[in-house]
Amino acid sequence: MSGNSSYNPTGAVEKWFDERLPIIRFSKEHLMDFPTPKNINYWWTFGAVLAFILVVQIITGIVLAMHYVPNSELAFDSVEAIRRDVNYGRIIQATHAVGASMFFAAVYIHIFRGLYYGSYKAPREILWILGVLIFVLMMATAFMGYVLPWGQMSFWAATVITNIFAAIPIIGDPILALLRGGFAVDNATLNRFFSLHYLLPFILAAVVGLHIWALHVPGNNNPVGVEVKSSHDTLPFHPYFTMKDLFVIVVFLIPFSWFVFFAPDILGHPDNYIPADPLLTPPHIVPEWYFLPFYAILRAIDFDMLFISSKLGGVIFFGGSIIVLFFVPWLDGSKVRSGNFRPLFRPFYWLFVLNFLMLTYLGAQVAEGIYVLLSKVGTAYYFAYFLIILPIVSRIETPAPLPASISESVLGKAEASGEKG
C-alpha cells in the first residue's frame, strides 16, 4: 500500500507541511501513482461513475433542501414551486430525481461486474461487504427521498414499506408506530424521512471512503483475475485511468442528460403528481424501477410456510435477498476469480442476469396469473444461484488454464517473458 509514492517535497514549506499533514503525499499516492492493472476493461470505470453521481446527488440535494418544505401540507406544493419558480429549479430537481435512477443503473452494472469477475473473493471480502452495505444505504436513501414529494406514490410507498416491519412477530406493531411516529404515515413520518434522507448520503460517502480504502489494500481485481505480479502488470492511476474514467463519465452524462432535459418524468410514475391522499390507494402501486426485482421477491411469497405467515415469509425473502449478498465471498469456493475461465459458472451467471431482469419486469406487473408463477420461479432461482449453484459449481468445475500473469494475458506468452527478461 505504501511505498508507491514518488512524492518528493521540494522547498521548506512543502517539507514542513508534509511532516505534519502528508495530505499531498497521500493524494499523490492514491489518486495519481496508485498501480492499477493495465488490463481492466470499461466495466471497471463504473466505480468512478458512481463516485461522480454521489457528488452530483449530494450537491443537487443540498440545493433542493434550500427550497423544500418537509411538511405534509406544504411538501407537494414546495416541490412544484421548485419546478416552477426557483431559478433553474426544473433542471436541478430533474437532475436529482433522474440521478437516483442513474445511480442505481450504475451500481447494478458495478455489482454484476463484481459477480462475474469474482471481485468478492479473497483478499477482497471486506471490500465486497462494504459495497453491499453501500447498496443497502442507497436503497434506504432512495426510498426516503422518494417519499419527500408527498405524492400518492410517495405516501403509499411509505405506507407499504414501513408495513414490512409489522410482519416481525410480537414487536412488529410497536416498531411500526416508532418508525412512523404515528398510527399511520403522516407529517411526523415525512419529517424524519427528510432528516434521514439528508443524513444518510454523508454516511454513505463515509462508507465509500472505506470501500476505496479497502480497494487500495489489495489493489484492483482485473478481467483475468490473476493478481498483479510485477510492475509490468500495472499503470499509474493518473493519467491512464483518470482520463479513461473521465471519458466514461462524460459518455454516461449523455443518457443522464437525455432523461433530465427531454424525459424527466418518464422514470417516475404519473400518480406521484397527485398529492398524497391517505384515504385513497392508487389502483396499482409500483416502486421505482430499481426496487422492482426485490419487490417481485417480496410479493412472490404468497403462501404460508409452516408457522411462518406469507407476510412474514415475503419479508424474510426480501431481506434475505440482500443479506445473501454479504455471504457471496464464502458461498463461491472457486479459487478462480474471473468468469472468463469458468465454463460451468458462466451459463448460470448469465441466467442469473436474465432472471434478475425478469424479476424487474415482474415487479411492475399486477400480481396475478402467470406473473405470480414466474415471480416464484425467479425468486427460487435467485436464491438457488447463491445458495446451491455457486457452492456446487465451484466444487465440480474444471476451470480453464489461467495465464501466468496479467502481462502474459495481454501480450501473449513469448512477449511477456521477453519483457520480463
Partner 1 sequence: MASEAATETTRRDFLYVATGAVGAVGVGAAVWPLIDQMNPDASVRALASIEFDLAPVGVGESFTITWRGQPIFVRHRTEAEIAEARAVPMEDLKDPETDLERVVEGKEQWLIMIGICTHLGCVPLGQKPSDAKGEYNGWFCPCHGSHYDIAGRIRKGPAPKNLVLPPITFLSDTIVKVG
Partner 2 sequence: MVMNKSRNVFKSLVLAAVMGLTGGLTGLAQAKVVGLEAELQKWSFAGVFGTYDVNQLQRGFQIFQQSCASCHSANLMSFRNLSEEGGPQFSEDQVKALAAEYTIYDPELEDGERQAVPADRWPAPFQTELDARAANSGALPPDFSVLAKARGISQKFPYWAFNYFTGYQEGGPDYIYNLLVNYGEPPADVELPDGQAWNNYLGRGLAMAPPLGDGFISYDGEGVPETLEQYAADVAAFMMWMAEPHLVSRKEMGFRVLTFLFLLAGMMYLVKRKIWANVKH
**Taking CB under 8 A as the rule, does residue 392 contact partner 2?**
no
Phi, psi for 50 (deg, rounded to 5): -65, -45
Encoded one letter per residue, x for contact with partner 2 by CB under 8 A and - for no contact, window 26-55 reads ------------xx----------------
CB-based contact 159:185 (threshold 8 Å):
yes
CB-based contact 293:363 (threshold 8 Å):
yes
Q: Which residue has the cell 461513475?
A: 49
Q: Which of residues 225-264 bind partner 2 (CB under 8 A)?
A: 235, 239-240, 243-244, 246-247, 250-251, 253-254, 257-258, 260-264
Burial profile 9-20: b = 16 or more Cβ within 10 angstroms, e = fewer: eeeeeeeeebee
Using the minimum distance from each CB to partner 1, give the nearer residue, 249 or 367.
249
Q: With the CA atoms of 232, 236, 113 and 120 taken in that order, what torsion angle do they form, in degrees rounded to the nearest 10?
A: 80
**Taking CB under 8 A as the rule, does residue 354 contact partner 2?**
yes
Least distance (Å) from partner 1 to the CB of residue 80? 11
Give the residue from 44, 161, 52 showing the smallest Cα distance to 114.
Answer: 44
Using the minimum distance from each CB to partner 1, give the nearer residue, 82 or 130.
82
Partner whose footprint covers residue 192, from partner 2, partner 1, none (CB < 5 to 8 Å by kind): none
CB-based contact 321:378 (threshold 8 Å):
no
Q: How far, in Å, CA of 139 to CA of 145, rounded? A: 10
**Taking CB under 8 A as the rule, does residue 13 contact partner 2?**
no
Q: How far is CA 159 from CA 35, 140, 252, 319, in A?
A: 48, 14, 34, 18
Count other C-beta atoms under 10 Å from residue 298's C-beta. 25
**Taking CB under 8 A as the rule, does residue 358 contact partner 2?**
yes
Classify residue 248 by burial, with Cβ atoms within 10 Å: 0-12, 13-18, 19+: middle
Using the minimum distance from each CB to partner 2, give the nearer residue, 194 or 241.
241
Q: How far, in Å, CA of 167 to CA of 298, rounded? A: 12
Least distance (Å) from partner 2 to the CB of residue 63? 17
Partner whose footprint covers residue 204, from partner 1, partner 2, none (CB < 5 to 8 Å by kind): none
Partner whose footprint covers residue 86, from partner 2, partner 1, none (CB < 5 to 8 Å by kind): partner 1
Burial profile 363-384: b = 16 or more Cβ within 10 angstroms, e = fewer: bebeeeeebbebbbebbebbee
Encoded one letter per residue, x for contact with partner 2 by CB under 8 A and - for no contact, window 66-85 reads -----------x--xx-xx-
Using the minimum distance from each CB to partner 2, give the nearer residue, 21 or 254.
254
Phi-psi region of 219 (alpha: psi -120 to 50; beta: other; left: phi over 0): left
Least distance (Å) from partner 2 to the CB of residue 23? 26
Partner whose footprint covers residue 83, from partner 2, partner 1, none (CB < 5 to 8 Å by kind): partner 2
CB-based contact 332:118 (threshold 8 Å):
yes
Which part of the chain contacts partner 2 (CB under 8 A), choosing from 212-220, 306-314, 326-334, 368-376? 368-376
Interacting residues toward partner 1 by CB under 8 A? 59-60, 63, 66-67, 81, 84-89, 91-92
The footprint of partner 2 on this chain (CB under 8 A) covers a number of residues equal to 49
**Taking CB under 8 A as the rule, does residue 177 contact partner 2?**
no
SS3 318: helix
Partner whose footprint covers residue 257, from partner 1, partner 2, none (CB < 5 to 8 Å by kind): partner 2
Contacts 24+ apart (CB under 8 A), 162-165: 162/189, 164/298, 164/315, 164/318
Least distance (Å) from partner 1 to the CB of residue 308? 50
Q: What does the binding site for partner 2 look like in residue numbers (CB under 8 A)?
A: 38-39, 77, 80-81, 83-84, 90-91, 94, 235, 239-240, 243-244, 246-247, 250-251, 253-254, 257-258, 260-266, 270-271, 273-274, 343-344, 347-348, 350-351, 354, 358, 369-371, 374, 398, 410-411
